[in-house]
Structure 1
Amino acid sequence: MAKKTGKKAADVVFEPKLKPIPNGLFANLTQFTQTPLFAQIIHQCLEYCLMFKICTPGVTATRVEALLHMVLHLLLLAVMEDATSEENIILESVTKSFTSHALCRSKSTQLGELTIVGLLQHISTVPEFESCGPKICHILKRLWQKRPQTYVEATEGLKFPYDTIESPSPAPGVDSELDLKKKRALDRQAKIMAQFQQQQQNFLSNQADIDWGEEDLSADEEASVPSSTEKKLWKYPTGNCILCQEETNDSRLYGTFALMMDSAMFRQTDVRDASYVREAMNCPSSLDRPADAIRPFGMASENREKVRRLDSTGGEVITEKQGLGSGFPPNQVVRSPIMTGCGHIMHYTCFETYCAATYRRHSHQVARNHPERLMLKEFVCPLCKALGNAFLPIIWKGKEESYPNVLATNETFEEFLEGKLVQSVSRFRSHALIMESDKLHTSGYQNFFVDYVSKNIISPLSNKVEQLVTPTIPSLTLAPPAPE
């Protein structure tokens, strides 16, 4: 706004824009600002801002300055909501105009008989309230636009430290402001178009020496152009440790929590029950699509029945009654282990410290019913309090996958069947014979395992694996000959 108006940023005053209320209970809400009581409140607040050092010596000037900004905001609102003017004002409506109260109605103060405009003149000379100067000047301008003749008479003996308030007309020209905005918008558009044309001309002049050719690529040449390779880096979970708040990396072992337990959520369809067979056959072919349209599905929807009854007039009424559904047969349930986790990350050393603190808490608070059972190695997540009994270390490195990568082979599938597959089968048979002869450390699987671990597992663990699987050859020493 300062750039548009050419003023300083401190001199810009934003006028509040109230939403019009055409009808209803609050249609005439702003009329209270035109009452003498409201003008008296504004007058006394401005008087307090001048005499606060005498009335309340302990109050600082900054707090009074904040109050003064609020009072000036209300004063500006009241002036803007005053719809009367010198042309249409009559004697009876003088008491219903805030502008008339601010310019003509004076009250006795410690500084003499002053109006609201007179108090504003005294406030404008106080150094502590220098930041309120632009807003006071804007209020005076609006008062002058409302009542130019009355304003000149009311401020004849006053001297404000501002420039002379001048305007081409008492009322702000709405049409001229709109024309000015349109002119500025057209100037900006013309400037942008000129800049765009200059950039286009510079680009064409720089590309003038390039021979683009006149022949298009044929279909065979287009097919021979290799497609761009799509790469994606698959990363394993990382982040900050929820206990020490340090970043997790390969320097320290870290992992997440899990709860391993048996569950009866695995079910098998009872082929002897037609209802469950029908439910399995009517199951949608794709379970990756929303099935809200068919819910409740299967056995869950077969607990409703139509009931016929007679109403008071003797007519038949059909209603739907919902009862209990059929339970799943317990002999068709298979208990299998499942694992759930909260996904929060913690260093293993921090996890050991947390477990030790849990043991101490149990020993110190023996009368409390703790959520975890230490006999089953249970614990709760320090962050979300989820139950867990296992620590899953994250030891895998991030892997970069690209498309087509391994899918773009140089040999056909028939060549693979006749060549590499035969060699792989023969190598497998030879390795099986070696395993039977108890010479596993000389097989090729050991080198394959070490190579896989070194590429996919973090360095501290891969180095230990290489040391463990490296075969150690015992040294042979010759014993001295026995004495004769």
Structure 2
Amino acid sequence: MSVAEASHQLCRAICRIMKAICDWNPRLPPYSSENKLLVKEPVSFHHSFHWLLSELFEHVSLLQEETLRDNGWLNGFTQMVNCAFEQDSLATFMTVLDYPIRTIALLSQINCAVWVRNGYSVRNQAYTYKDINVRENTLDRDIYLLQVGFVVCDSNQLLLSLIDRFQLMDWFKGNPKKHSTVYDSNQKIFMVEELLNLLIICATEHGYASGTTIEQRIRRAIVQHLSLTNLSYSELTKLIPGSLIECESFEAELNKIANFRAPDGLSDKGMYELKPEYLDEIDPYFWYYTRNNREEAHIALRKRWNQLHPEKQVSDKEEFLVQPKPRTIQTGPFQHLGNFLHSKIFTQILVYALWNAKMFKQAKSETILDEALYLGMLAVNDPNHTEANFFKHAVEDEYAIQVNEIEKTHANLVTVLLRCMDDDQLSHIHKRLGFIIDNIEQSSTQKAKSVIGAWKEARNRLISSKEQDNSSSNDISEQERKKAAAKARQAAIMSQFATAQSKFLEQHADLYKSDEDEEMKDLDEEDQDTIMLSSSNNDSDIVRKCHFPVDNCIVCQEELDGNKLHGMLGLVQRSNIQRLSPVTKDVWAEILETANHSCNPWGEGGQESNDKGAFTGFPVSSNLSGVDISSCGHLMHAECFENYQNSVNQESLFQRLSQRPPESRFLCPLCKAAGNVLVPIVWKGKKEIYPGVMAPTTSYEDLNKTLKALALDVNQRLQSGADNLTVVEQDSNLMIADEEKLKFFYNKLMKAIYKAMKDKLSDSAIDLRESLLQLYDMYAYTIGDREIAQRGTEDTRTRDLMVEHTGTFIDDVPKASQTLLKILSMTNLLVPKLMDSPWQTDEPKMKEVILHKQLNQMIPQLPNEKPLLMDDPFKVLVHLGFSTADQPAIEPHHLMRVLYLAELAKTVIGIAQCISNNERLFRDPRLSNLLARLCSEQQRAKGTEKVQRFVDCVLGWIRFSDRQTVYDKINSRGFIALLRLFTLPYLRKSFLLMVVHHGFIPQSPMDDLMKETPSEYDHLLKILRLPDFETIFDLNLSEQELMTGWCTDYMSDSTKSRHISLGLPTKYRLTNLPYRLDYLLDESSKRICRKCNTVPEHSAICLICGTFVCARRMCCYEDNKGECNIHMKRLLSIVIT
């Protein structure tokens, strides 16, 4: 049979199939593009005639224009298709396409969870319809029919039909907020994404339309799947249609474009890896890709680009321009398939896709932007069209767009593109926008060229004016800038204070009502004193009262007016959150990587590299235990608390696990947060002042002398026989309704701390001195936990507008946590004055004993339990802050500054010990390169000579014998980077301590200040009024005396190891997991449980330490607890019951 005869027979078959479809439903109404509700119309996944028709259209070699003209169809393919409907005026090819369109729309609705309650059967059909084993004869056939429709039918009508069947007509008319009877807002966005993806597939998938050979289709399928990841043969064949796998040339094509990696062992399997030269053929919108696959394809393309262009690498956070690579269809009926990209409706789709995603919260979607821009790039780049009408429509066709809530305007596509370019929030798509705009400017009309040219000139003028403004602003004198910044800060602080006060009075005015004139008079005086200003030479002293929360009891709903004891629910528990820095390759690699980003060590720039292997977690042995307290912030009467806790304990008697002690945990009745204590609130508020403790009145140089005088005085008091009775001072701010009950709850708080630390409660009486020290330790540990929790979280949470913005990490510390710390601060000062029972102590002068111990640690050459350099300087600062609260001669700022020096000295010793004792570890190529980069990239660091002199002095004072080994590995620039990294947590914790304990009011940040101090470290030094990093090492005589004494104490400590463990200064991370889930599942089938030494049938992985444990098995049970709970208790000191 000749080609002409075969073509004639094929065309006859096509016409007969289309006529059969029309005869199948003889009562067809006139076709309408609108008002077709898919949820009410009949729809089916099974339409065999359509699939047969699609398969006939696949023979494009027999449908060439010349062949069709020889057979009598002078107008070619379009005439041949439409001739089947000449005898039926109501039928068109659009009528044939209606059922495939409905099916594709229904599939999209199923994917976005529309058919959940009443679509069980249809969902099962959908899974089969798109299954890889059959979709070549189902879904692929329907998509190919759509491509035929774009060639035969009017593109505008077909696009309108698609929009209507997807039920998105209002969305593409500029009304994305209009309520839909079918979709919620998220489902509507998903449907838009599905429609745009369908249009991309119709424009780019040329497998059938271009008449490609079976070998080309095999190659394309293998390239697209192997480009994402290496696959075994069985895994690859599950992703490719069976007709391609059964082809004889499949194996040859696979071996041609992929390398085979043989298995390593019995449990491994051979993998195929795509050859690098074929990575350029990746199509991110391959029609078999899922959404995740498209993301992986973009990553693979970016990685390939970076390999080929090492000098122009694109980071993960930068926009990577993926240009479409449409293939030209040389012959056949689909030469002009891309005509629909140049239709009016297509331009309208782009306009509203971009504008709605830019302007409306209900329509924001990065996927919509990506797909719309990809379609736009296809329109300006696709060669398969007759006339480039897209450029004309982009300039001449205008559409109504909503600018804001009340304003509408008309704009064309070029205007929308330019507005998106002016939006800084869309900077991540500017490269793609620029690509489309540049192509329109080159190929469009003179009107478009003039509009785009005028916009570019205006943009260049704006950029140049900004540069001039920046240069002129730099000419302002530094003195004037500081004056303006100080005035602005004061104004901002006063504005925030006024707002906070007015808001407080609006919410709690009823609490201050009284029928007595005297009480009203006292209240007026107190409110007048809430915010005061008193001028001084340098600063304006601002005094205010931070009011503690007052609300209704969450149990009885009565007002908490101070007549009954009330408090805040809290949870006291043992914690292993804080960590030391173990000397391991992974930990120190992350430390050195973080130190290389000195300005923002925990930001995006300080992310760890991908060199870290999978399943590497943090070693459990380096956790630092302590007691932490947290609160949900809800309030309750003390009496209601007792009743509620008793009811919880009684209920536990009827439960299966009734071994819990009486003081067990409970759930907050309101928010279901765990708790076990009630922290009493017996104050109206806490006095706060700016600059307060940051402006000491005594000389810092006299600190050593002052400490010695105080130590002498305390020692004399201890040796004297007289007892100093502690009496609670009369304070209008203090509201103690029931002193005995208050003591009872303080006793319960101390028992909870003791139990959390000891894991059991002794029957003997608790020592008051030990209890106070545990209170102080808990306070220090809790502040450390809050500091760790905020590492790398700046600007990631919604900011509370009623809280002063400080531009520091405490902006993200929850308000409830700050309030709890302020209450605990006052609790720690009240407890030693109030409590004399039920504790029994042999030390009648308990406060003096605690203070004497702390002073002995601070003052060199006095007997002490632990040298200062072996202790945590911040914990010492907290202890001294409470112990010296009634000693006005001891300034908290002076203590913070001198202990900052102790932290620096301790860090120097710790770094030197790590490098000296682990010289072999630091020879590792990765660590060696990171250390070398650290020492070289800090060349502009200031104060290198002073730092080197300080390091020499400290190591000399402790007679460190291996200094040369340390200096060979790290120079002064490296020491600067590591010192700043390791001591940054001390500054952050000290700042939080000054705010919550000493009542310091942080300043509002100003742009000038933030520009002058780009790094958090320098910013905190300015706020805390500490010397600059390069000048802190200019030690005065008092500091030198203290430093040499501390080093002498350190060397004289012969009973214990002199090894100094430094705190972990990096951002906490979970265990590294493989990028793909199948790798994780494969690895879990190989890992052995350390407890039972078997491969778990159902395994679980600890995301903290990376350990695989048994799950859902009885082999590792202990005391009715599975291994997951046992591991959690061992790791975090908690257990879920």
Q: Classify the TM-score, shorter chain.
A: 0.3 to 0.5
Largest Rg, 1 or 2: 1
Q: Which has the higher strand share?
A: 1
More contact order relative to length (CA 8 Å, sep ≥ 6): 1
TM value normalised by structure 2: 0.17
Structure 1 or 2: larger helix share? Answer: 2
The alignment's TM-score, normalised by the length of structure 1, stands at 0.36
